[in-house]
A and B are shown apart, each in its own frame.
Chain A
């Protein structure tokens, strides 16, 4: 590579970076302000009073720790869904990539076509089915539909083709290992970057999901953080004497809700970037 650096390009990219980070910076600043300062001080800089910790305390304890409960629900729904989806995709992707059986091409083609089926078009019929089955207003109503990731399967199939050499599988068979033992003890380790990628992206999809929990749940104790924050924001928008206080909850709660995912992406970047690379090339 050349050692040249372009200042002009760097400046252009700094402008772009500011656009993407400024709203988050605003959110951080706003979460350090009390209600009065929120309206009276300039939005993009700290006010005189630093109220971050009292805001956080107020947010997590308000209404009988309901925010904390929403965060816990979100963690539960997204970790179980993402773990389950990644496992199903790893198992299935490996099966489609490494075994020849009747219907292999037809089934993987069907799943590939389903990538284009929008999840929100499924949400209303799924709701109607679940309400017949008595699953509405339970954690399963969120977790079960989130277990299916056609794109995840596609990614894992592509990934398994190259990441697990046929020769290794053959060698393990010669050693007398059973097929599932080969998968769990040999192949799964080689599939790790792909699995982490699917895990992270389904984690984000469930963590950020709004439409599905909005229609499936009406018990506030079961809300994930997205539906909870939206409910608070509609209280704040409804006016009345408590508007300001609720507004502060919405802002600090929004800030707190984005921290875990951002941390996960930064910590696991090595994995998801290599996993995506494999999916992107062949796509």
Chain B
């Protein structure tokens, strides 16, 4: 409606296009700065500055004799050869490779099912699956920790009543899988909602054309919907890279249930935390933080690069 009004106005006043250009070019540019200034100010103070400070701190070392001295890149060479950090990075990379595909496939299938029109009560499924996203990761980790637990967890209770041995969710062999389950439980619904929202935007005449051509629901999903979801899937994938490599709350809380399984270097973030606050190695912790941030940015761009290149070839 509003567009029509403008068109009509413009038809009446043919010279306005020129006036508009002058407005945009001259007096309104400075107003644009005023609009973006508050955000950019906070952005620089809370994001750029801490990053720069971490980069700066990471170039120094605290010595027993001589205090804090410039150390060049030696914190980085130490980090790159630190077996605890490398194990942590390897562990979250493994976590990413296993957990993210499972989560995204489940989210994709759920979104397609809800969008297919073949379900009764589709709204109940949509909201029910999304609900865990509103649960804090601390609560999710505590809750699953109790569910996994051997004392009053329902899995142990069921196994006990069937005369079986309780599953050992919190042992070193199972722990990464148990953590992956918690994260999958928390974030599948979030990814599903993003994918579902993108599905709703696919033009419906495409479906009608496919139906005329005799395509069934599965064929339509495969040939029209999934290709249309590529950008949204990419967003989900990038967010998952960021989430996996930052893994902290879940292992930190599970640590209390299984201190011998989860050590302070279990994930890079746990390691950075213990370096800064238990070990008081501030400069090295800054280097680890900075390096972790760099790894995530590089991994995100690698994902972007690989997925967009494959689509072209």
CB-defined contacts of B117 to chain A, threshold 8 Å: 1-2, 4
Please state if B138 and A88 are interface contacts (CB–CB under 8 Å).
no
Interface range on chain B (Cβ under 8 Å from partner): 35 or more
Cβ-closest chain B residue relative to A257:
B139
A13 and B110 contacting across the interface, CB-CB below 8 Å: yes
**What would 29 A/B residue contacts be, using CB atoms closer than 8 Å?**
A9-B116, A10-B119, A13-B110, A17-B125, A17-B129, A20-B132, A20-B185, A20-B189, A21-B131, A91-B35, A92-B39, A95-B32, A98-B32, A100-B24, A117-B293, A117-B296, A129-B50, A144-B42, A145-B46, A167-B6, A179-B31, A180-B34, A207-B136, A210-B249, A211-B249, A230-B138, A280-B194, A280-B231, A283-B232
Question: Once the chains bind, are A100 and B143 in contact (CB under 8 Å)?
Answer: no
Say whether B175 faces chain A, with CB atoms less than 8 Å apart: no
Chain A's closest residue to B135 (CB) is A258
Q: Contact check, B36 vs A23: say whether CB atoms are below 8 A apart.
A: no
Whether A261 is near chain B, meaning CB under 8 Å from some CB there, is yes
Q: Which residues of B contact A (CB under 8 A)?
A: 2-3, 5-7, 9-10, 16, 20, 23-25, 28-36, 38-40, 42-43, 45-47, 49-51, 53-54, 57, 106, 110, 113-114, 116-120, 124-125, 127-140, 142-144, 146-147, 151-154, 157, 185, 188-189, 193-195, 197-198, 200-201, 231-232, 234-235, 238, 242, 245-246, 248-249, 252-253, 256-257, 269, 272-273, 276-277, 282, 285-286, 289-290, 292-293, 296-297, 300-301
Residues of chain B within 8 A of A283, CB atoms compared: 198, 231-232, 234-235
Residue of A nearest to B303 (CB): A116
What is the interface of chain A, defined by CB distance below 8 A to chain B?
Answer: 1-2, 4-6, 9-10, 12-13, 16-17, 19-21, 23-24, 26-27, 30, 38-39, 42-44, 88-89, 91-92, 94-96, 98-102, 104, 107, 111, 113-129, 144-145, 147-148, 150, 153, 165-168, 170-171, 173, 179-180, 183, 204, 207-208, 210-211, 215, 225-227, 229-230, 233-234, 237, 250-251, 254, 257-258, 261-262, 264-266, 269, 273, 276-277, 279-283
In the complex, A215→B277 CA distance in Å?
A: 8
Q: CB-CB < 8 A to A269: which residues of B?
A: 127
Q: Which of B144, B151, B253, B297 contacts A117 (CB 8 A)?
A: B297
Tell me the smallest distance from the CB of B170 to a CB of chain A, in Å: 12
**Top 9 A-B pairs, shortest CB-CB distance:** A95-B35, A167-B6, A99-B32, A92-B39, A121-B293, A43-B154, A125-B54, A208-B136, A125-B50
Taken together as a complex, chains A and B put the C-alpha atoms of A104 and B25 apart, in Å, by 13
Is the pair B200, A124 in contact by a Cβ cutoff of 8 Å? Answer: no
- A234 to B152, alpha carbons, bound, how many Å? 17
User: In the complex, A269→B39 CA distance in Å?
Assistant: 27
B277: chain A residues within 8 A (beta carbon): 215
Decide yes or no: A126 and B46 within 8 Å by CB, A16-B110, A211-B269, A254-B142 being known contacts: yes
A13-B110, A88-B42, A114-B47 given as contacts; is B143 within 8 A of A23 (CB)? yes
Cβ contact within 8 Å between B46 and A100: no
Residues of B within 8 A of A19 (CB): 185
